[in-house]
Amino acid sequence: MDASDWIPHRRASDGELVGWIRPAGDGFVALSLFAAPLTGEVDWLDAEETLDAEGLSWLAEPWILERDGRGIRVRIVEVSPGDPPGTGRVQVKTDDFGAIDVPYELIDLPWPPPAALRPIRDDERGIIL
């Protein structure tokens, strides 16, 4: 992955990285912290506004990791794109549902994460996987 022309975009309030803006044609594309495009070709301000609106709240949501033919519910623990981006990792843990006495497994994934890691769907929220 060539990220040499990606421009980091940080949250104004605390400087936290929330994504990148990548030149595309005559405009720019906003990329999430997972390097997924959030826009098509837009102007710079639209790319910034998209990243600011997206923020990092999606990291707090449960995710599904497809593994060994089944989906397991996980939480994102760490996202480290690396420097340059593409040299880092994503760490998830099996969801312990907030209990302190439930064992969990830490799982390291490459960055950007594989398609096997996906947001949980609405119809999966009440199901313990």
Note whether 32 and 18 are same-domain residues. yes
Note whether 72 and 90 are same-domain residues. yes
Instruction: Write out residues in the chain with pLDDT < 50, as ranges.
Output: none
Contact present, 90 and 109 (Cβ < 8 Å): yes
pLDDT score of 82: 84
Please tell me the pTM assigned to this model: 0.81
Q: Which tens digit of pLDDT belongs to each residue from 87-106?
A: 889 999 998 877 788 888 99
Dihedrals phi, psi of 92, to nearest 5 degrees: -125, 165
Let me know if residue 70 belongs to a domain: yes
- Identify the helix (H) or strand (E) that includes residue 52: helix 44-54
Which residues form the domain of 109?
Answer: 61-124
Note whether 50 and 66 are same-domain residues. no
